[in-house]
Chain A
Amino acid sequence: MKKALQYFYKYLKPYWKGISLVIILTLAMTYFQVVAPVYMGNTVTDLTNILKGHGSMTTFYHDLWLMIVFYGLNVLTMGLSWTITSVFNAHANNNMRKNLFTKLQKMTIKYFDTHQDGKLLSLFTSDIDNIFNAMNNAVFEIIAQSALFIGTIVMMLLINVKLALITMASTPLVVIISIVIMKKASFYLDRQQEEIGALNGYINEQINGQKVIITNGLQKDSVQGFTVQNDKVRKTMFKGQFYSGLLYPLMTGLSLLNLAIVISAGALLIMTGSMSTAKGLGLLVMFVQYSQQYFQPLMQLTSIYSMMQLGLTGAKRLKEVEDQPEEDRVPNGQILTAVKKGVSLNDVHFSYNEKKEILHGVSLDVKAGKYVALVGPTGSGKTTVMNLLNRFYDVNQGSVTFDGIDVRQLTLTSLRQNVGIVLQDSVLFTGTIAENIKYGKPNATDEEMIDAAKQAQIHDFIMTLPDQYETLIGADNEIFSTGQKQLLSIARTILTNPAFLILDEATSNVDTVTEEKIQKAMDNVIMGRTSFVIAHRLKTILNADRIVVLKNGQVLEEGSHQALLAQKGFYYDLYTSQMAFE
């Protein structure tokens, strides 16, 4: 709650002028709204007086005129305050969204590796949206409705204490009923949500494994399992829907009942009291309006309750994201301009979480201009090494150095400018092919881009596309195969001309013939550059200056291809079991 409020405070503070104005307008609006019924009642009194023979039309027109003025001002102030509110709400919300995006980009890779994309994405899709709805509908509604509630009570008490008390008599009961129902509703909705969650889990797992179900002929069992879960949902759903749907009609009904009591009691009061008929009629007309106005805040506040809850939870989540530590960019560090001597890992120990160390004292050395390959079984820690070289993660012990300088002393920008990475899963962005190749160097010329594409062996394919370099790449149009995506991301890296290159080979869905093409592209990039290749198949790295075999987080063997074969160790086994021999 505190976090959520801090969050709102931060984003609403710049608009304090508008907010103050809205509060004043809202109070004015409420004033007009609670006073207007007095004049409506007065007109009825005036007319009754005329009928009884001692009234004048002038008074009637005067009161009618005042009623019109008050209702008019009510509408005007309402329109103004809503307009101002919607303007700063929209702007505040826009700032929240922009800040969230910028903030996310500043966070550590660890954060993204430990949080699911889907959950982070829901910050954009649902939380920001919930906050927007809550701010538009709930926040100022609370002010307006509270003001209306208090205003109505004050007016009623001023006009007629007895009738006012009668109108309010049922309030404690109404409040208790609504609290009980809201509690029940949230209890049963939670249970319903739990069961629906379980059902959704089941659906997700089964449908995503549908091919296994089909190939094993398990359809009937699957439906059986579904029916069990579905019936559980069916059972809990009734109460959830009933209690959550109950509040509004019940409040409407109670408002009706209260009105009936007010009318009856008021009528009896007038008949038995000393009041004139004319005054009595006017009074009753006023209280008919007030009794409805009195219930309106109670009804509104209960209906925006859930919206507010969602908004507050959203704000809390966003505040938590904003409080996350950011990547240390070492703004005052040394600036890396080139790799003159080489890159090394010195006795590096590393773990993603405290329980399990991944690298146990790894030392590696890539001399300037040399090509080093890293091989080893899955889970040996190969990709982890890449994460350390680019400072996606920091070592626990030991150091990673560029030309002898610890990476933690280099500015992050200069480090990453000098390190080019081709990742295992080629990530492309929505946009044209040209935009994607120029991604790392937006001001590159078309000649540079085409040159990079040629080196990456993808230019010829691009030229066969109808829009060539202007072809749009999107999430749903699959123009490129996995292998071609890898080639495109190689082109993207070539264009930035990095001093040090890290290449994490694609493993999935690339056949050995395509692999050969990728290898040619790789050879083009590697030539004359300090490079580090993480290989999954051995065929691609046979020309490496040095091959390092990593197993279980330790360097097991290293040397040239021939030397390693001669050792007849792990590399030898790997090689002979992967390759075909004549």
Chain B
Amino acid sequence: MQILREHLFKYPTYILGAVISAVASIGTMLYQPKLLQDILNAILKNNMDAIKTLSVWLIFLAVIGVISGIYNVYFAAKIAQNVTSDLRLRTYQKIQSFSFGNIEHFSSGSLVVRLINDMNQITNLLMSVFMQFLRMPLMFIGAFIMGVYTLPRLWWLEILMIILVILVSIFTFQKMGRLFGQVQIFMDKINTRAKETLQGMRVVKSFNQEANNSANFNQTSDELNKINLWIGYIFSASFPAFMLATYAAIALAIYLVGGSITSHPSDVAAISSYVTYLSLVMNAIIVIGMTATMVSRGLVSLERIKEVLDTKPDLTYVTDQDEDLKGSVEFKHVSFTYPDSKQETLHDISFKVAPGQKIGIVGKTGSGKSTLAQLIARLYDPSSGEIDLGGKNIKEVSQKTVTKTVSFVLQRAILFSGTINENLRQGKKTASQAEIEKAAQIAQAEEFISKYPDTFEHEVEERSANFSGGQKQRLSLARGVVGNPVVLILDDSTSALDAKSEKLVQEGLAKHLKGTTTFIIAEKLVSVKDADQILVLDDGHLSACGTHAELLKTSPVYQEIYQTQKAKERRSDLS
């Protein structure tokens, strides 16, 4: 709520407008029955002039009611529009300040859901608060007071009805709330089943399990149906119960008025307006009950947005000074544990790399290769120990300097919709066209780009659907090498390339990026065989470090990997 308040107060005029128009529109609704009563009295007294004045008032009031109703929506829409847009922007800006760790904590899927679905709920929340929720308590109190004022003798009748209606609605909405909770649980089960079946349709079919699967699904569906039936029963009983309470109150009121009509003759004119007030009171209670569920849904969404806004980016920068750093990298007793994990992923790692060296990183899945690479680009901070980039503690370098110095090519090649040029230029905004073309050459991407009539201006579609996996990887690689980065990290980023292209990429890198310190993470030893140093990771430990030849002699871990990739034949046997 705190968050909404901050944004709401930026639009005081609209809020004031919404409140005033709501009060005005409720006021007209409440005053109309009173005027009706006056008219009926005037008829009883045969007072034509009074009827004429009252009629003008009646119509004037109704016109005000229409206009204030329109204005109420106008202001509510203005508030909803601005506050949600502002809040969405603020949330997005917040997410953009997040580190890898923050993103992974939420998962990108969940962030997308929050920005889209939850923001939607908040729009609905604001609309219903300013249109319904604000009006209904006013309506309830106003109608109650007017009812008492109309027939003061029967004040207790109104209270009796209110207690009855509230009791029924508490029972109903509580029961409903619980049942809707259960519906959600079964809906989730149904969704999981449907989703798994859709994703595993080949498995279902190849094991001939359609019938069993349907039987399982039907069972869940029947259970959901049972709850839906209960909801139906309660709903079918509750609304007539509200009506019954109101009708009973109306009948009782007429009965009591009739019984004492001779002592209170003017009450006869009050019946009609009293009935209207009773209906308004009941309506208000029901609407409050119904909007309450929507409001509570909106509040849940608000809580989820708040969670994002309250998250502190877990990387901070002490300086924003722009520097030119050399490509040396040093790890000093670096250990690392992921924020949401108990187990250490990297343990006491130390090594030193000189500018321009080529470093291979190998190890089993889960041994910490990618994590180590991410620390070099300061995507995470080590839990203990220190990392030096270009001889400076990486924590004391500005964000701009780090992104400028280190270029990281991710395992999964992600492109954005736009042109090829726009995507490649993300690697270095100021890159010249010659630099872009050179990068494409190194990444073996120029060959297919040049086949398009519009070459580098060729469109990248959404989800880069118009490129194959290999092409995407080449473009992602090209983006990484634009403008000769000082340090280049390739995280298994040539996996979708065929052996020949991969070799050409390696050669291109060696030829054109001589001064660049290159880290290569690879499954295939062939890719790192000629590296200056190979880091062998085993379960988070740096188990060995050396050249291919050295490691083959000294490192059992390296030998094990080597054995699984070794050809049966000797090279000499083949030629």
Q: Are B410 and A212 interface neighbours, CB within 8 A?
A: yes
- Chain A positions 491-512 with a Cβ under 8 Å from a chain B Cβ: 492, 496, 509-512
Q: Are A208 and B108 interface neighbours, CB within 8 A?
A: yes
Residues of B within 8 A of A106 (CB): 210
Inter-chain CA distance A326–B352, complex, in Å, is 63
Inter-chain CA distance A170–B61, complex, in Å, is 18
The interface-forming segment of A254-262, A350-358, A451-459, A464-472 is: A254-262
Inter-chain CA distance A238–B127, complex, in Å, is 11
CB A487 to nearest CB in B, in angstroms, measures 14
Known: A82-B236, A203-B115, A260-B61. Contact between A580 and B103, CB under 8 A?
A: no
The interface-forming segment of A7-15, A66-74, A307-315 is: A66-74
- Closest 6 A-B residue pairs measured CB to CB? A86-B232, A217-B403, A577-B499, A264-B55, A253-B66, A82-B236
**Interface size of A in residues (CB-CB distance below 8 Å):** 153
**Interface size of B in residues (CB-CB distance below 8 Å):** 166
Q: Are A512 and B564 interface neighbours, CB within 8 A?
A: yes
Inter-chain CA distance A509–B369, complex, in Å, is 12
Residues of B within 8 A of A222 (CB): 96
Inter-chain CA distance A271–B201, complex, in Å, is 78
Mark B372-408 against chain A: 1 for CB-CB distance below 8 A, else 0.
0000010100000000000000000001101110011
Tell me, yes or no, whether B451 is within 8 Å of chain A by CB: no
CB A446 to nearest CB in B, in angstroms, measures 19
CB B279 to nearest CB in A, in angstroms, measures 8
CB A106 to nearest CB in B, in angstroms, measures 7
Inter-chain CA distance A327–B192, complex, in Å, is 24
CB A412 to nearest CB in B, in angstroms, measures 8
Q: Are B232 and A101 interface neighbours, CB within 8 A?
A: no
Residues of A within 8 A of B61 (CB): 260
CB contact between B85 and one of A71, A233, A253, A417 (< 8 Å): that residue = A233
Q: Are B93 and A427 interface neighbours, CB within 8 A?
A: no
The interface-forming segment of A151-159, A224-232, A339-347, A399-407 is: A224-232
Q: Are B560 and A98 interface neighbours, CB within 8 A?
A: no
CB A227 to nearest CB in B, in angstroms, measures 6
> Which residue in chain B gives the minimum CB-CB distance to A574?
B499
Residues of B within 8 A of A284 (CB): 36, 39-40, 43, 272
Tell me, yes or no, whether B65 is within 8 Å of chain A by CB: yes
Q: Are B197 and A267 interface neighbours, CB within 8 A?
A: no
Tell me, yes or no, whether B430 is within 8 Å of chain A by CB: no
> Which residue in chain A gives the minimum CB-CB distance to B222?
A94
Residues of B within 8 A of A578 (CB): 499, 524, 526, 565
- Chain B positions 185-227 with a Cβ under 8 Å from a chain A Cβ: 187, 190-210, 212-214, 217-218, 221-222, 224-225
Tell me, yes or no, whether A246 is within 8 Å of chain B by CB: yes
> Which residue in chain A gives the minimum CB-CB distance to B52?
A268
Q: Are B59 and A264 interface neighbours, CB within 8 A?
A: yes
Q: Are B258 and A98 interface neighbours, CB within 8 A?
A: no
Secondary structure of the A side of the interface?
helix
Residues of A within 8 A of B52 (CB): 268
Inter-chain CA distance A572–B82, complex, in Å, is 65
CB B43 to nearest CB in A, in angstroms, measures 6
The interface-forming segment of A46-54, A330-338, A362-370, A526-534 is: A46-54
Interchain residue pairs with CB less than 8 A apart (24): A51-B262, A64-B251, A64-B258, A75-B240, A93-B228, A94-B225, A104-B198, A117-B199, A125-B191, A205-B462, A207-B108, A214-B98, A230-B92, A241-B81, A259-B32, A260-B32, A268-B55, A288-B36, A390-B205, A492-B207, A512-B561, A577-B502, A580-B566, A581-B571
Q: Are B92 and A271 interface neighbours, CB within 8 A?
A: no
Tell me, yes or no, whether A569 is within 8 Å of chain B by CB: no
Residues of B within 8 A of A429 (CB): 196, 200
Residues of B within 8 A of A379 (CB): 468
The interface-forming segment of A161-169, A298-306, A513-521 is: A513-521
Q: Are A87 and B207 interface neighbours, CB within 8 A?
A: no
Tell me, yes or no, whether B523 is within 8 Å of chain A by CB: yes
CB contact between A105 and one of B62, B116, B197, B415 (< 8 Å): that residue = B197
Tell me, yes or no, whether B13 is within 8 Å of chain A by CB: no
Q: Are A577 and B500 interface neighbours, CB within 8 A?
A: yes
Tell me, yes or no, whether A249 is within 8 Å of chain B by CB: yes
